[in-house]
Structure 1
């Protein structure tokens, strides 16, 4: 029941603030209200008006985090975004996964996992981040990339489908 109430609460925040322009102050207000039901939320969490956040009760967000336009974050697993992270427009973060049951993914059990984005990282536009992924601190995930595994080398550029180490930055 709690999950459904939080889902309605997140929808209410998105609906009430949808037509409010994306100024830093209004994005912080959105972030504040989302943060009230999160596991952890730091200061200066900014969310744009058309970002879609579902499962916020499982989020741990650091300070000075920005979520860009048309970003979709959903699933029933845990999301950890450390301090000073920027997520560019069009990014999809999925922290859950379906399994097959009776030759159908429709009614299969949901597989919960975790996604972690390290401090000071930048997720480029139109990226997809899947369950079990980890982007190390001060790293860049190149635009249009698919991150589906854990990387451990900080200060690096990762890109591609699926993502791979490109170079140190």
Structure 2
């Protein structure tokens, strides 16, 4: 019952605030409203008007997190975004996956594996992070990439389908 009420709550926030402009004050207000239902939510969560949340109760966000327009977060299992994370336009984070049953994915059991994004990480536009994806501190996931497993290291750029190491960054 709690899950259904939180789905309704997320939809209501979206409905009431969708037509408000994406300016920092309103985005922080929207983030505050979503944060009430999350497992953990730091200050200054900025959420664009067209972001879609499913399963808010499994979300755990740090401070200064930014979610760009058209981001979809389906937190079937835990989705953790640490401090200062930016998620780019049209990105999708899904912490569940399908399995095969009788040669069909339609009725296979869900595989639930957490998604983790470390402090200071930037996920570019049009990225997909699936169950089990993990980016450590201060990494970049290049635009149009798909990440489906943990990647090792900090201060690196990952990209492609599937995402692979592109280069290491010099720490500032």
TM-score by length of 2: 0.96
After TM superposition, the structure 1 = structure 2 runs for residues 109-128 of structure 1, keeping only pairs within 5 Å, are: 109-128=109-128
**Partner in structure 2 of residue 143 of structure 1:** 143
**Partner in structure 2 of residue 61 of structure 1:** 61
After TM superposition, the structure 1 = structure 2 runs for residues 16-165 of structure 1, keeping only pairs within 5 Å, are: 16-165=16-165
RMSD across aligned positions (CA): 0.9
**Partner in structure 2 of residue 14 of structure 1:** 14
Displacement of 1:98? 1.7
* Runs of 5+ unmatched residues, structure 1: none
Displacement of 1:35? 0.5
How far, CA to CA, are the matches of 1:43 and 1:90 in structure 2? 23
CA displacement 1:31-86 (0-9 Å, x = unmatched): 10111011100000000000111111001100000000011111411001000011
How far, CA to CA, are the matches of 1:95 and 1:66 in structure 2? 19
TM-score by length of 1: 0.97
How far, CA to CA, are the matches of 1:107 and 1:18 in structure 2? 34
Is contact 2:147–2:163 with CA below 8 Å preserved after alignment? Answer: yes
How far, CA to CA, are the matches of 2:86 and 2:28 in structure 1? 14
Would you say how many aligned residue pairs link Structure 1 and Structure 2?
A: 169
